[in-house]
Amino acid sequence: MLSNRDGILLIDKDSGESSFSTVKRVKRILGVKKAGHAGTLDPFATGLLIVLLGEGTKLSQYLMAHEKRYWAKVRLGIETSTMDPTGTVLRTSPVPDLDPKYVEEKILGFLGEIEQRPPAFSAVKYKGQRAYKMARKGIRVELKKRRVLISHIEVIHVDLPDVTIVLTCSPGTYVRSLAAEIGNTLGVGGHLLALRRLSVGPFKVEDALRLAAGDVAELSRAVSERIIPLKEALPDMKELQVDGSMAERIRKGYQPTWDELSGAVGDFFDTQVKVVKGSELVAFLKTTRNTNRGKVEPKILRVFN
């Protein structure tokens, strides 16, 4: 059955620490065996990292589908191999005294749906391997472009050679690539100097916990108190209540009918729903059309034990 350590945890990751090492530290603090995260933050970046605990690891694809909001600083005039401060310098260019309004106009041109090529130093798979592993060996990696959505972009400050922006973007967007593209558009090249993730969907970095050094027992208490239960991890998803008997049957693999769930097709048609028992998440459900029987039926997609 679900424990009070099944859920998600909002962590404000420090610079210099990898997402993997942050998860490893949380596992050690809580004494849990199963944990992961919903979206990597590069070691140089800071901000919101959603750590998944126990059965919470089953939420990864749902949480990663959320839009993300970032604060970013672009350094113009310097291009690096990784498009960030950790790479080797490839080219430098003098940065002229650009008009801030001109800089803003060019950056606002990235608003909306754009084509973007992921960085060679990324976890995207290329010929069956992670691209960064091949790039580190000096193998040329040419990843395919993908369409991403920049739903909001705002220039906060222009202090050449640095430009500070805030943006909201779709899953799969690489801010490093965007920084390089901004530099190219302005004719001087550039890279991502600093990055901070401000939010993921409804979750904000202001509500996250920093893993400061300290007594392990004290840290364990602090972390335990901040775990968000599974049922609250997707607050925008509709809910369908079931009793204890039905919850147990679903967890054993039973596929219920609408009549058994006391649900109305019109309320949940073609959408995913949380099946809950009180404050406990039981499963995810979606309506599907049964062509043989000529009607819409519920289908259990994922069960939480």
* 296 vs 266: CA distance, rounded Å: 10
* 19 vs 285: CA distance, rounded Å: 31
Spatial CB neighbours of 94, under 8 Å, sequence gap ≥ 6: 77, 188
Distance from the Cα of residue 198 to its chain's centroid: 11
What are the b/e assignments for 234-255, b being 16+ CB within 10 Å? beeeeebebeeebbeebbeeee
CA atoms 213, 214, 215, 221: torsion sign: negative
To the query of whether residue 215 is one of the catalytic residues in this protein, the response is: no
Closest CA to 107 of 147, 85, 74, 144: 74
Structure tokens at 236: 């925008």
- Burial level of 3, CB count in 10 A (0-12/13-18/19+)? exposed
6, 12, 42, 84: the catalytic one is: 42
**Through-space distance between the first and last CA atoms of the chain, rounded to whole angstroms:** 5
DSSP string, 42-68: -TT-EEEEEEEEGGGGGGHHHHHTS-E
User: Could you tell me whether strands 190-200 and 46-53 are parallel, antiparallel, or unpaired per DSSP bridges?
Assistant: parallel
CB 36 within 8 A of CB 22: no
Q: Which residues are catalytic?
A: 42
